[in-house]
Amino acid sequence: MLEIKANDPKLQSFIKVDKDSHFPIQNLPLGVFSDIEEDFSRRRIGVAIGDYILDLKAAYECKLLPDFGLNFSQLNNLNPLIEHGRSKVRTLREVVSHLLNKNTSTLRDDVVLQKKVLIKQSNAKLYLPIEIKGYTDFYSSREHAENIGRMFRDKDNPLLPNWLHLPVGYDGRAGSVVVSGTMIQRPNGQIKPSSNEPPIFSASQALDVEIEMGAIIGLSSKHGQVIDIKNAPEHIVGMVLVNDWSARDIQKWEYVPLGPFLAKNFATSISPWIVTLDALEPFRVPSPKEELKLLGYLKRSEDWGININLQFAIKTPKSQTAQIVSRTNFKYMYWDMMQQLAHHTVNGCPMATGDLLASGTISGKEKDSFGSLIELTEGGKNPLQLKTGETRIFLQDGDIAIISGFCQGQGYKIGFGEVLGEIVSMSTKFKEGNVQRKTVDENAK
């Protein structure tokens, strides 16, 4: 593992940061924002610190940042920064860490300068942090794959023959990846309510969530280039939360033989802040033990399981706060993101800066650690009982689904914030949202 100065648990910022904040000085995730009254054209990049954003455009113009070979005044997404890989991102994080350190006087003692470069997160709009060139969704949680396999295939042999040999995945729709807070329109498609009747055209009645994490590609690769698993960490600059919404009834009818289509391509939500792989270094843990001997290109050279606590909550129109219905952890993943990237490129498939590789639904062994509603309700046999007296098998219009995640450090958290979406009917006007509020009652499970 790398020894990184900006990860020192003793570091403190001159900006007051609550111990439960997801954004202490040890994190410093990257995102794209504008002032709340500004429009899309005024986007610029920033770093989250506590309840604030350090405006990198303003900091650059105030000569608080060295020349990285980048004009921060012109950047409206992170692609030009992350295309250089982890090294340039690491250098920027070290510079920002020093600037925000309580022992550095430059910004700490200049209130006028602070007003120029710091903005409250509550006064900002957040956007997709990257231009997403390609999107791949994997199926890498053994517990999830077994749960689904028992429901729809073979209770005694739930995994398909290939599952323990390779990280199963498919290419999704990059154009429908949206930032947290964007309304999620209930998708239409063909469903087949009865095996004895022809399919009908309908809005999905089985809209589900999938608790996932996403790896962000920085350093690209050329067509024909194979990324060795040992070099894979240099290509991934950070991670985001992912909710890969799923219309289970549409998927059930359409997925044979080529896999999901309309059931998945209508929306995938990601959190707005990219937490760097460097910030996650202290939380690396071994992945579950591999059951079978793997082919050489998939053999791990180091551990890339990460101890990320994840939770999923639902807020209904009748509730004041959201109720947590599942807690799981990224460390349960059987296939890690470096294996996923090595497999993705072993045939020479090129990777582009901004590509998103989603983990697939993350489930643990216990029922309350399952990563989707179809698992939590056992396919609808046992509806969730909410504290409002309501029940849920799948999401209803007006429900807000919220996924959050963090790593627990020594007196601090390295967090991702939230990825949330409100379910609306197709007749509702689409809105690109920016809901950044504390909606989860931590004791409401």
> Catalytic site residues?
144
Residues ≥6 apart with Cβ < 8 Å to 281: 1, 2, 4, 7
Phi, psi for residue 125 in degrees, rounded to 5: -105, 135
Phi-psi region at 321: left, alpha or beta (left = phi > 0; alpha = psi -120 to 50)? beta
Phi, psi for residue 116 in degrees, rounded to 5: -80, -30
**Strand 177-179 vs strand 268-270: parallel, antiparallel, or unpaired?**
parallel
The number of residues in the chain equals 445
* Alpha-carbon gap, residue 256 to 96, rounded angstroms: 50
Query: Cis peptide leading into 257, omega within 30 of 0?
Result: yes
Provide the token pair at 204. Answer: 């999905």
Residues 243/88/121/115 CA torsion (nearest 10 deg): -170
Provide the token pair at 344. Answer: 């993705």
Provide the token pair at 276. Answer: 């760097």
3-class state of residue 253 by DSSP: helix
Straight-line distance from the first to the last Cα atom of the chain, in angstroms, rounded to the nearest whole number:
36
Question: Strands (DSSP E) along 245-375, which ranges?
Answer: 246-247, 268-270, 275-276, 284-285, 305-306, 309-315, 322-329, 356-358
Q: CA–CA distance from 414 to each of 121, 202, 371 (Å)?
A: 17, 42, 21
Residue 392 bridge partners (DSSP):
384
Residues ≥6 apart with Cβ < 8 Å to 63: none
